[in-house]
Chain A
Amino acid sequence: MKIWNGIAIAAAALPLLFSGAYADDSAKLKTLVVAVPSDPVSLEPGTNKAEPIGSEIILNVFDTLVAWTAPDFKVLEGRLAKSWTVSSDGKVFDFTLREGVKFQDGTAFDAAAVKFSLERTKATNPYVKATFDLIKEITVVSPTELKITLSGSYPAFLSILAQPQAGIVSPAAVAKYGDKFAAHPVGTGPFAFKSAQADTNVVLEANPDYFRGAPKLSQIIYRVIPDASTRRLELEGGGVDIVQQQGQLSAIAAEDIEALKANKDVKVLESSSQIIRQLEFNNSKTDGPFANVKAREAITHAIDYDGLLKGVFGGTAERVYGPLPSNNWAFNPKMKDLAPKYDPALAKKLLAEAGVNPSSLNLKLYSFQGPLWGAVATFVQANLADIGINATIEQTEFPALRTLQTSGQFDVALDGRQPWYNDPDAHITIGYLSSLANTAMTFRMPADKQLDDLILKAQQTPDLEARKQLYFTIQEEIAKRVPGAYLFSPKLIVFTRSNVEGLVVNSAPPLNEYWSVYKK
């Protein structure tokens, strides 16, 4: 009988377990809980490799010299820099810095700290080698004046300075923690790093002395929740305040978005991204079915772009008209008319003109893994079948796909680009410059002096308006060569609890600053 007594007592005590062990509501209102799928890789500029979670935390803990102005992110504004000038040859940048700014450890911010930080990143961070190696010299003119000299003209350099790798670190903290700085990051940002537990959370605390004013929140908790359906349940139940679409290759199923839109406790913030997804041809190939431009053109007319946006994405993606997304500052509006339209009859006609017999083709359509890529590939496959082309889908694990792609063992593949800094250079140079064809997942453009010269000139022209015109021409020139079919640009989607206010979603790259966020 004793056992039964014990069980009875335990059963009577059970409700205690279910009673709330939670903090009071005022503390909850001051705390923002953000769900992320995994731990950040690195929490400091010196080792950041543009991995999204760590990058976002860095931009909330550290400040950069300049940043993109919300809400459309087309113009740079000063952050730790009050103002700046660029020399006419585009090589020398003179910055006037903000005065009276303090790091979170109480030490003062000055030009020497900027020099220290940028030189540190240059020395330790291989990810930004190509751009940071352009820095010839950084001179501290006075505590509030700094001169950066580049070895060549590179106007996108300012955009690089807005990146997390260019965050300004506290030299005193680096001296104090040495190798362990990533575990104790100290910057000037609106939130200071407090603690991190492996695979559990990262906690940031408000910096009351922040130079733009203390943030409205008192803390941010990043909760690591790897499973997408758990993240959704947590959001619906109020266990987290914000869930973002994270990761370069993942997206949320359209059904999930619909369900969350119908939930009155949840807000769905959608904004255009600079991500482009395309079907690309192996443009280096001189033989094969797509060596003839007419055959490539045929494929671009075979795809039902609007059907794809509606059917697969339910309105959560937008049309892409050419090599640049329409929200890029250098987007050429003419591209909207130049972009191919869905016309299967024309597609068949063009194939015939190119001398390609569609039934003789047996295409392998390579793609990334995941249900979303699978759905896109299936849609494209059906479109190709409509003009008589038989394609088999090969969804391949990323590293293996990269090897196939960079070694040119394909005819058509689904691919895409998520620029890691906000500049047309991030799409155009890497994607279409022929000398870079084998070095990354690119369009594998063949040597083409006219286009190559244009790309390099646009990359190096200091004058913004002249640059823009060059990129206008480049977009038209690339469109003429039909290197691929631009399929769609997924929107950035952030889900928040309905009481979260003041969040501005950054379009490129998708990193949110929480300084202005508060809970009602």
Chain B
Amino acid sequence: MASFIIRRLIALIPVMFIVLVIVFSLVRIIPGDPATTLLGPGATQQQIDALRAQLNLNEPVVLQFYHYVVGLFMGDFGYSLKTGQPVAAEILARLPATIELSVLAMIAAIIVGIPIGVLSATRPNSFFDHVTRVVSLLGVSMPAFLLALVLQLVFANYLGWLPVSGRFSPYMPVETMTGFAILDGLLTHNFQGALGAVQHLILPTAVLAAFLAATLGRFVRNTMLDVMGEDFIRTAKAKGLRRHDIVLNHGLRNSLLPAVTIIGLKFAEMLGGAILTETIFAWPGIGRYMFEAIKNRDYPVIQGTTLVFALLFVLTSILVDVLYSVLDPRVRRKMG
């Protein structure tokens, strides 16, 4: 197992390098240079040229790449062209918000999605099954911005139960320690602030979890239906095992294997930032940061965030493989 993980981690290096080369050249191929974009339509060529010089944009691209890679080895992700702040620090400042949201959405989706899939599969074509299938179809196909707007209108503006957007109440700010708002509220004994942070999390979590829960529910239902038709289930039934033993220990366990892949990939995607959800809920996460950077042609930020996403993606897929081995003894033997 250990050697498997080490092998995978070593393979990470060329992957990251290729990602870096691609993103480094891609951002420079898209038309529009950062100085022009930053200064807006009113700027003169003189102003643009002066800014280009200040931002070192006149260096040959190959040299820029060389300096960037050398910097990376020393943990230097460069400086944002827009704000002049170090990219690594800016990413770290935003990562907790994204992690907070995606982990919670993940948990919510698993808690809701998997039981629904299991229940639907054990009672196929029942009333419950039909209802959940319609609801999950809605969940999969409803665009996030629409769901977000409906939830904001109903729960924030109409009922007044929850805040519209943000991470905490402007009047009850939470001091930053770890960057995780709820935790920071508790650590600084700002319990009202922590409660406010929980309230602010509910709507964005719901929007993000809805799609995933629906996907998971449909997926688990289908694989469960397949598995429940297998010979070993019939054998288990013939042995006189209790129904929920069959469903949970034999049916679910075997359907979870492909579900883990989906969960893993979707989770990596969410860590890469739910751009729409973060934008609509004014959530200061990393997806929004990257989106703004692309709009502003902020090369170092685009590069830095892409690298972090790629890293998270690869790490998550390694984790999924490890989980596979936990769930499936055959895989465990192969990994040696």
Chain A interfacial positions (CB closer than 8 Å to B): 16-18, 21-23, 27-28, 31, 33, 38-39, 41-42, 47, 49-51, 126-127, 129-130, 182, 197-201, 203, 221, 223-227, 229-230, 233-234, 236-237, 239-240, 248-249, 368, 397-400, 402-403, 406, 415-420, 430, 436, 438-441
Contact = CB atoms under 8 A, between A and B. Distances in A.
Which residue of A18, A42, A126 has the most chain B CB atoms within 10 A of its CB atom?
A: A126
A233 B198 contact: no
Which residue of B94, B153, B171, B297 has the most chain A CB atoms within 10 A of its CB atom?
A: B171
Given A126-B47, A223-B166, A397 B284 contact: no
B165 A234 contact: yes
A201 B173 contact: yes
A29 to B, nearest CB: 11
B138 interface: no
Contacts, number: 167
29 contacts: A17-B202, A18-B161, A18-B162, A33-B170, A39-B83, A41-B38, A41-B82, A51-B40, A127-B43, A198-B94, A198-B284, A198-B289, A201-B170, A201-B173, A203-B173, A223-B170, A223-B282, A224-B284, A229-B280, A230-B152, A230-B282, A234-B164, A239-B164, A248-B41, A398-B32, A398-B41, A418-B42, A420-B42, A439-B46
Contacts of A239: 163-166, 170
A33 B166 CA distance: 13
B172 A21 contact: yes
A18 B51 CA distance: 49
Nearest to A31: B171
B56 interface: no
Contacts of A399: 31-33, 36-37, 297
A227 B282 contact: yes
A237 to B, nearest CB: 5
A418 B46 CA distance: 18
B56 to A, nearest CB: 13
B176 interface: yes
Given A21-B193, A239-B165, A230 B36 contact: no
A397 B279 contact: no
Sort A-B residue pairs by CB-CB distance and give the 3 closest, nearest first: A399-B32, A126-B50, A199-B284
Contacts of B39: 49, 127
B45 A416 contact: no
Interface string B146-161: 0001001100110011
A416 B173 CA distance: 40
B168 to A, nearest CB: 8
Nearest to B32: A399
Nearest to B283: A199
Given A28-B171, A198-B284, A397 B32 contact: yes
Interface string B78-101: 000011100000100110000000
B279 A226 contact: yes
Nearest to A426: B42
A225 B166 contact: yes
A200 B41 CA distance: 27
Interface residues of B, number: 61
A129 B50 contact: yes
A248 B32 contact: no
A46 to B, nearest CB: 11
B196 interface: yes
A340 to B, nearest CB: 25
Contacts of B292: 38, 226
Given A127-B39, A227-B282, A397-B31, A200 B166 contact: yes
Nearest to A420: B42
A22 B173 CA distance: 10
Contact of A233 (B33, B156, B176, B284): B156
B111 to A, nearest CB: 11
Contacts of A49: 38-39, 51
Interface in B48-87: 50-51, 53-54, 82-84
A108 to B, nearest CB: 30
Contacts of A130: 44, 46-47
B282 A129 contact: no
A509 B279 CA distance: 27
B167 interface: yes
B169 interface: yes
B221 interface: no
B164 A233 contact: yes
B199 interface: yes
A225 B39 CA distance: 22
Contacts of A233: 152-153, 156-157, 164-165
A241 to B, nearest CB: 10
A17 B198 contact: yes
Given A129-B50, A399-B31, A22 B169 contact: yes
A398 B32 CA distance: 8
B46 A129 contact: yes
Interface in B158-212: 160-167, 169-173, 176, 192-193, 195-196, 198-199, 202
A438 B46 CA distance: 11
Contacts of B169: 21-23
Nearest to B46: A130
B91 to A, nearest CB: 10
Contacts of A33: 170
Which residue of A249, A400, A430, A439 has the most chain B CB atoms within 10 A of its CB atom?
A: A439
Contacts of B82: 41
A51 B160 CA distance: 35
B267 interface: no
Contacts of B36: 398-399, 402
A38 B152 CA distance: 21
Contacts of B176: 197
A210 B90 CA distance: 34
Nearest to A415: B41
